Amino acid sequence: MEDLKQRVLAIAHEIYPQIVEFRRHFHAFPELSMQEFETARFIAKQLQLMGIKYRSGVAKTGIIATIEGINPDKKLVVLRADMDALPIHEINDAIYKSQNPGVMHACGHDAHMASLLGTTMILNRLKDKLEGSVRLIFQPSEETYPGGASLMIKEGVLENPKPDCIIGQHVCPELPAGKVGFRAGLSMASTDEIYITIKGKGGHGATPELNADPVVAAAHVLIALQQIVSRKAPPLIPTVLSFGRFIADGKMNIIPNEVKLEGTIRTYDENWRRKAHVLINEIAGKTAEACGVTADIHIAHGYPSLLNDKLLTERAMHYAAELIGEENSVEIPQRMTAEDFAFYSHIIPACFYRLGIRKSVKGITANLHTPEFDIDERALLTGSALMAWITIKELQQ
């Protein structure tokens, strides 16, 4: 087994320059959710060069591929990477800077795809050591509801046969490159989008008595909704309610007819999640009514909380310690961010871990979803080798 571990590391180091090239290509040519056509073509070409069977066009732009080991029907492990970028204008000046204005891989999906291609290369060269099969998922639209994971599941990605488990990884700016973080059990929050339109009667700002002011009403609604977390949420259930858009499109002396609020609610408990939706509707509706206006409320039901299988995650953390050292395989806290990988985790045992990408001495510290975001590319070496090692060990489990 020690010899196999060394082979994994040796192949990872050998192909590392190619993995970096993959990542830089993806970063330079990002595509938004459900528009990942060129990205998918590039991935398909690499799979063809490796002689790996694949199916494209799954959930529009997704790809499924298979590597069969020496006992292909014994066990099936699924590996997943997401493909889409974000509507962000990159301000970095790297040679691989986005060539698509206003579109950027600011969430590390370029690294996820490159790492999975690297893992694929390693596993393909070691398939005579695989006690089972590996299903590769290159998934579209993680960033946009209803989530590419839910669409791929509907198209049978977890069927024929049903996998034994699924593994995924996500870059983490808080962790230094070379480290990985694990969290068993509930590890990421559910997420729902909130859209509220406050409708009143606009008019001149100098004659407020003639209007039904939706701006003041929206402000009251915004403040009133905060009691959902501070006074309604069970104290032991993490909950976040945040509003990022307040659009009152009037002028300094013009009160508009309506105001739009957009926000998100995140938590870990499905029963409380449903109750919170009811409270949002009640509080927003009654507060608006008290202000003499009306509220149209829509809550887009998003991703569930992400549930990492306890035993699988503990094993994966141990495998990581074997490969990169115990000091580099660490436990991390829960996060209020969300991921559509969660859909997979409620169907089969799942492990979704964090890949460190931070390099402070190089100034690589920017958070996800920012125009300055970048990674220490040495993380790609860890990402490719570790996912391959976890897969090999899990197939032997």
pLDDT of 233-277, one tens digit each?
Answer: 999 999 999 999 999 999 999 999 999 999 999 999 999 999 999
Q: Which amino acid is at 109?
A: H
How far is the C-alpha of 364 from the C-alpha of 375, rounded, in Å?
6
In terms of Cα–Cα distance, which of 218, 214, 286 is closest to 257?
A: 214
Torsion angle of C-alpha atoms 247, 250, 256, 261, degrees rounded to 10: 10
DSSP state of 163: P
**110 a catalytic residue:** no
Are 29 and 107 members of one domain?
yes
Catalytic residue among 31, 82, 142, 164: 142
CB atoms within 10 A of CB 349: 19
Are 180 and 265 members of one domain?
no
Last residue of one domain, picked from the residues 271, 301, 331: 301
How far is the C-alpha of 285 from the C-alpha of 135, rounded, in Å?
47
At 397 the pLDDT is 87
Arithmetic mean of pLDDT over the chain: 97
How many structural domains is the chain composed of?
2
Beta carbons of 293 and 212 less than 8 angstroms apart: yes
At 284 the pLDDT is 98
pLDDT over 90, % of the chain: 99
Segment 126-177, tens digit of pLDDT: 999 999 999 999 999 999 999 999 999 999 999 999 999 999 999 999 999 9
Are 330 and 370 members of one domain?
yes
Segment 164-218, tens digit of pLDDT: 999 999 999 999 999 999 999 999 999 999 999 999 999 999 999 999 999 999 9
At 387 the pLDDT is 98
Stated pTM of the model: 0.94
Are 76 and 184 members of one domain?
yes
Are 201 and 313 members of one domain?
no
Residue-number span of the structural domain to which 226 is assigned: 192-301
At 236 the pLDDT is 95
At 105 the pLDDT is 98
How far is the C-alpha of 241 from the C-alpha of 41, rounded, in Å?
39
**84 a catalytic residue:** yes
List of residues 6+ apart from 355 with CB closer than 8 A: 111, 115, 169, 170, 171, 172, 175, 180, 379, 382, 383, 386
pLDDT over 70, % of the chain: 100
Half-sphere exposure of 217 (CA within 13 A, CB side): 32
Are 171 and 144 members of one domain?
yes
Last residue of one domain, picked from the residues 301, 324, 353: 301
Are 166 and 310 members of one domain?
yes
Q: What is the CATH number of the domain that holds 92?
A: 3.40.630.10
Beta carbons of 343 and 147 less than 8 angstroms apart: yes
Residue recorded with tokens 């660490």: 330
DSSP state of 209: G
Mean pLDDT of 92-98: 97
Higher pLDDT, 364 or 397: 364
Catalytic residue among 31, 36, 82, 84: 84
Q: Beta partners for 77?
A: 134, 165
Are 378 and 276 members of one domain?
no
Residues written for the chain: 397
Q: Beta partners for 354?
A: 170, 181
Are 283 and 297 members of one domain?
yes
At 358 the pLDDT is 97
Beta carbons of 31 and 101 less than 8 angstroms apart: no
At 231 the pLDDT is 95
CA 337 to chain CA centroid, nearest Å:
8
Position 1 pLDDT exceeds 80? no
Mean pLDDT of 310-336: 97
Are 225 and 184 members of one domain?
no
List of residues 6+ apart from 308 with CB closer than 8 A: 182, 183, 184, 185, 186, 187, 345, 350, 351, 352
Q: What is the CATH number of the domain that holds 214?
A: 3.30.70.360
Position 2 pLDDT exceeds 90? no
Are 272 and 320 members of one domain?
no
Last residue of one domain, picked from the residues 301, 324, 349: 301
Are 85 and 138 members of one domain?
yes
